[in-house]
Structure 1
Amino acid sequence: MLAGLAPARRRLLLAALAALVVGVVAVVAAVVVPRLATTTEEPVSQGDPGPVLLVPGYGGSTTGLQQLADVLTAAGRDAAVVPLPGAGTGDLGAAADVLGDAVDLALARTGATSVDVVGYSAGGVVARLWAADGGAAQARRVLTLGSPHHGTTIADLGSSLAPDQCPQACQQLTTGSELLRRLNAGDETPTGPTWVSIWTDDDQTVTPPSSAELDGALNITVQSVCADSTVAHGQLPTDPLVQGMVLAELAAGQPVDLGPADCARLSS
């Protein structure tokens, strides 16, 4: 049809067709893109706690977390520690995939509809990566302990002064890492679970300690409950006060805003 038209008329028709295509694309974008952008997970029911999965930090040690898992088990919870590949020093994204597999197995084994996840130190970043990649729909609560959600200057020092001693997870925990920039660029606490972050002001591993603060979470320092507490980063999973705080925050219902009135009860 176009071959039979004069060149001038052919160019006019082609221009009109091009304008029509652009208009259609604009309409589709206006209708479809906002719909995708506003799609969120539904909040997970808070009334029926399922199994608890505990995620170790950098280095992958499970000793301290196992003590916390034992406390949870004694309180009647189904609790297990998730060992991380590469002793927790490899890609945190790969560790999040391992957590995802463990969640699927726990849900299949127990018949529960959701899990609670406790991430210690870098394990809290792993939990967030898993939640951001679809895990939020499977979690009732995500609780992090002393987690460097916005990086730690200790990793910065390691990366700059001894890069050969700062493996992939260390690089990913620097304050300006691409992984943390992407993770924190949008909603730090995606819809689905409720979120709690607990940390200590005496942390000398996650520096500054306030790196553990999460926008949209219930943020609690150990010292806001017991002002004279001197718990260090490595003591978070084993300290009786912190263990009491974790038990309280993983109970059925919404997270609770703990304070000085709870100090004696939670420390015993």
Structure 2
Amino acid sequence: MKREPVVMVHGINDSSAGLRTMRQVLEHHGHHVYAPDLKPNDGRHGIKKMAEFLRDYIDSKIPEGPFDLIAFSMGGIIGRYYLQRLGGLDRVKRIVLVSSPHQGTIWGHVYPLPGVKDMAVGSEFLKELNTDVDVLGNKPCLTIWTPYDITIWPPQHCILPNAENHEVKVWRHGAMMKDPQVIKKVVEFLDVPEVQSSPVVVGTAERNF
């Protein structure tokens, strides 16, 4: 089976090194993986600027053809802006969003950097981005989240409508991309040969989009 290239997007104050474990497994399964180091990685210029950086990186590395997108934490919001506002949805085949604050995190109100404030519960940025969140359901879209997440709080804010929302019992936000059950689920999701016709929603979320 032909496997699409994979683009992986890290979270805040992190780098591609934090994705190494999952990346190695994906490469073992035959995926060509691209993982940019977002600069700056602390959100000082806001989500939009980082999404533009991601778009430019993808255009330079994968100028044509489909690819799969895997994004963690803040990377998931960056990825969503790229998909929903910068044309990425036209090219992406499958979407995986791990522990991303789709409805925001209370910690976004604590730190003054623009990219962090963009992820605050009730932020204007997320309100606007969530006006058409349903378009992500036009592609196979998987979210993975843990109810024990204290970085994305409340943790149910990682759930998306019209997606396959998969709950795992992982005790620490930063451990998600290294956890064997998370990696196994991602590999299985990417290896589905045909486009999924109807997402399976695991668990429920209060719809505030």
The size of the alignment, in residue pairs, is 197
Structure 1 residue ranges (4+ consecutive) displaced by more than 6 angstroms after TM superposition = none
Are residues 130 and 203 of structure 1, via their aligned partners in 2, closer, same or farther at CA, if it must alter by over 3 Å?
Answer: same
* CA distances 1:179-211 after superposition (whole Å, capped 9, x unpaired): 101001223444653211111111110011111
Separation in structure 2 between the aligned mates of residue 170 and residue 142 of structure 1, nearest angstrom: 23
Are residues 88 and 74 of structure 1, via their aligned partners in 2, closer, same or farther at CA, if it must alter by over 3 Å?
Answer: farther
Aligned residues with identical type, % of pairs: 26
Name the structure 2 match of 1:77: 31
Asked if structure 2 preserves the Cα contact closer than 8 Å seen for 1:121 and 1:148, the reply is: yes
TM-score by length of 1: 0.68
Name the structure 2 match of 1:3: none
The one-letter code sitting in structure 1 at the alignment partner of 2:194 is G
Among candidates 151, 172, 177, match of residue 237 of structure 1: 177
Are residues 258 and 217 of structure 1, via their aligned partners in 2, closer, same or farther at CA, if it must alter by over 3 Å?
Answer: closer
**1:53 matched to 2:46:** no
- Name the one with the larger helix percent: 1
Separation in structure 2 between the aligned mates of residue 190 and residue 242 of structure 1, nearest angstrom: 21
Unaligned 5+ residue runs, structure 1?
1-46, 160-165, 223-228, 260-268
Separation in structure 1 between the aligned mates of residue 100 and residue 51 of structure 2, nearest angstrom: 15
RMSD after superposition: 2.1
The one-letter code sitting in structure 2 at the alignment partner of 1:101 is D
Name the structure 1 match of 2:131: 185
Separation in structure 2 between the aligned mates of residue 193 and residue 136 of structure 1, nearest angstrom: 8
Give 1:137 deviation, angstroms: 0.3
* CA distances 1:52-105 after superposition (whole Å, capped 9, x unpaired): 010011113322212211111111110121211211423111111121122223
Separation in structure 2 between the aligned mates of residue 125 and residue 82 of structure 1, nearest angstrom: 15
The one-letter code sitting in structure 2 at the alignment partner of 1:81 is A
Unaligned 5+ residue runs, structure 2?
203-209
Greater radius of gyration (CA): 1
Matches within 5 A, 1:63-74: 63-74=17-28
Name the structure 1 match of 2:207: none
